[in-house]
Structure 1
Amino acid sequence: MSRASFILRRAGRGLLTIWFAVTVTFLLLRLLPGDPALALASPNMTDAIRATILEQYGLDQPLIVQYGLYMWQLLQGNLGISFTQSIPVLDVLLQRLPWTLLLTITALVLTIIIGIPLGVAAASHKGRFIDRAVQIIGVTGQSLFVPSVAILLLFVFGLNLGWFPIGGAYTNNTYGLEWYLSVAQHLVLPAVSLMLIQVGSYVLTMRSTLIETLGEDYILLAKANGLRGRRILWKHALRNALLPTTTLIGLQLGFLVGGAVLTETVFAYPGIGRGIYEAVTQLDFPVLQGAFLMLAATVVVANTLTDIVYGYLDPRVKTS
């Protein structure tokens, strides 16, 4: 398979996945209990007012017509108008996107700088105490549930010890350098919560791939030629062992985004995840659709790029 054909296949599969996610989201939101007209007016409105509101937003049309109108607007780059805020959905999401990016990127960096060294330490001390301890950490990390971790950290380090703020993204009455320090303080607990549920996969993947790499013939040959174990580990073995771990970064992004939604809800962090929670309680369909579209597109693009990069790094993938 040529490179161009490989990229087109992966891109086409990504677009199909996004369309499927958009369609499923559209249908599921219409199954939510409640009346979206209540988000636009009041519970005491008359039936005539309710009918007028539903007609104005096209909610009185058959489901297939609503879907067609939504897809047509989507193709034009129009995500709709928020029911509750009466502003374009894109503006609502762009206000929250920087906070979600800050949280997820920080959590990802923490996961990499902690998970990979732990995996290397376990692989280089296979069968010893440190290896068993790291494996326990990895398995435990994979079994954690992000809301439970977030609530525990919030209770211990926020409420009891008072080391970190218990909610929000910054303190309102801070300016200049104090504002940045406040943002960093508010970021610690949400980022650590996300890191703890992700780090187990990186630890176990790094350990298993590095152990396998250390058993390759070229590593045994390097040892026979008198190269030091530390040099073999860091210069030769680790470079090849990082390939599956690099792929894991793209594949785990979906879990990271999903965890961010739950984490932002627990810590009242003003990102897209918190916006999704608020939109669900208010039946704000346009915001929910736009938020899920943005998250789905982010995950699909990351996974598609991961497939393409892996195909260049390992040509066997393109022929499978």
Structure 2
Amino acid sequence: MPRSSFILRRLGRAVFTIWFAVTVTFLLLRLLPGDPALAVASPNMTDDARAALLTQYGLDKPLIVQYGLYLIQLVQGNFGVSFTQSIPVMDVLLQRLPWTLLLTVSALVLTTAIGIPLGVLAASKRGGFLDKLVQVIGVTGQSIFVPSIGVLLLFVFGLTLRWLPIGGAYDTDAYGAAWYGSVASHLILPAVSLMLIQLGSYVLTMRSTLIDALGEDYVTLAKANGLPYRRILWKHALRNALLPTTTLIGLQLGFLVGGAVLTETVFAYPGIGRGIYEAVTQLDFPVLQGAFLLLAITVVLANMLTDIVYGFLDPRVKTS
């Protein structure tokens, strides 16, 4: 399959997935209990004022008409206006997006930096104590519920030891260099919490793929030629074993974003995840729709880029 056709197919699939996510989000939010009109209309309003306000937000129109208008606004880059804050949804999201990016990227870097070496260690010591210990850690990490590990870290390092702050993104009275230090200290617990729930997948995948790579003929040939085991492991086997791990990074981004929503809620971190929680409690449909759409686009694009990169790294993907 030519490269251009391969990329176009992935782009088409990404566009369809985003449209599907937009449609499902639009419909699901309107099935939630509660009247969205309560978020924009005061109980003290007259009937005429209430009707005018609902007309302004388009809540008086049939569902299919609301859906059509919503799609048209999205194409124009308009995410609507927040019911509770009365400002454009895009402004609300842009205020929170940097914090979510900081948290997810930090967690991803930590997970990769720790998970890959642990997987290599387990594969190189296959069957030994370290291998079994790493496997237990990996399986346990995959079984942990996000809020549980967050609450545990808060209790131990925030409330008991008092080493780290228990909420927010920075101290309001910090300025200059102290502000950056405050941001870093507030980031540690949420990032570690998010890292721990992702670590198991990276460790177990790296271990499995590296064990397979170590069984290949080229490794046997390298051993026969007298190459040191460490060189075979890190220079030859690891290079091929990293291909599935590269794919895992893109695929796990969706779980990382989902975990960020719960993590930000537990740590009161002012990212998009925390914004989603607040929007749900306030029935702020425009913010919910905008946040879900932004997260969906991020995940879809990350998976698409991973797919394309893997296709270039392994030409067999394009012909399968």
- TM-score category (smaller protein): over 0.9
Deviation for aligned residue 1:29:
0.8
Which structure 2 residues correspond to residues 252-291 of structure 1 after superposition, within 5 A?
252-291=252-291
1:243 aligns with 2:243: yes
- For the residues of structure 1 that align with 2:46 and 2:207, how far apart are their CA atoms? 64
1:15 aligns with 2:10: no
Structure 2-normalised TM-score?
Answer: 0.98
Mark the CA change 1:155 to 1:44 in structure 2 (over 3 Å): closer, same or farther. Answer: farther
Matched residue, 1:117: 117
Query: Which stretch shows the higher mean deviation, 235-244 or 48-57?
Result: 48-57
Matched residue, 2:208: 208
Deviation for aligned residue 1:44:
3.7
- For the residues of structure 1 that align with 2:213 and 2:45, how far apart are their CA atoms? 69
Matched residue, 1:55: 55
- For the residues of structure 1 that align with 2:164 and 2:235, how far apart are their CA atoms? 40
1:25 aligns with 2:30: no
Which structure 2 residues correspond to residues 149-160 of structure 1 after superposition, within 5 A?
149-160=149-160
- For the residues of structure 2 that align with 1:110 and 1:102, how far apart are their CA atoms? 12
Deviation for aligned residue 1:157:
1.2
Deviation for aligned residue 1:52:
2.1
SS of equivalent to 2:86: coil
Matched residue, 1:129: 129
Q: C-alpha deviations, 1:78-131, integer Å up to 9, x for none? A: 111111111111111111000000000000000011100000000000000000
Q: C-alpha deviations, 1:253-294, integer Å up to 9, x for none? A: 000000001100111100000111111111111111111010
- For the residues of structure 2 that align with 1:44 and 1:262, how far apart are their CA atoms? 35
- 1:184 maps to a residue whose letter is A
- For the residues of structure 2 that align with 1:93 and 1:284, how far apart are their CA atoms? 13
Task: Report the count of equivalent residues.
Answer: 320
- For the residues of structure 1 that align with 2:166 and 2:43, how far apart are their CA atoms? 33
- For the residues of structure 1 that align with 2:247 and 2:168, how far apart are their CA atoms? 33
Matched residue, 1:194: 194
- For the residues of structure 1 that align with 2:298 and 2:254, how far apart are their CA atoms? 8
Deviation for aligned residue 1:247:
0.8
Return 5+ residue gaps in structure 1 as ranges.
none
Return 5+ residue gaps in structure 2 as ranges.
none
SS of equivalent to 1:252: helix
SS of equivalent to 2:38: helix
RMSD: 0.9
Q: C-alpha deviations, 1:32-91, integer Å up to 9, x for none? A: 122222222433434433322211110010000000000001111111111111111111
- For the residues of structure 1 that align with 2:130 and 2:43, how far apart are their CA atoms? 61
Matched residue, 2:234: 234
1:174 aligns with 2:178: no
Matched residue, 1:304: 304
Q: C-alpha deviations, 1:184-232, integer Å up to 9, x for none? A: 1110110001000000000000000000000100000000000000111
Deviation for aligned residue 1:160:
1.5
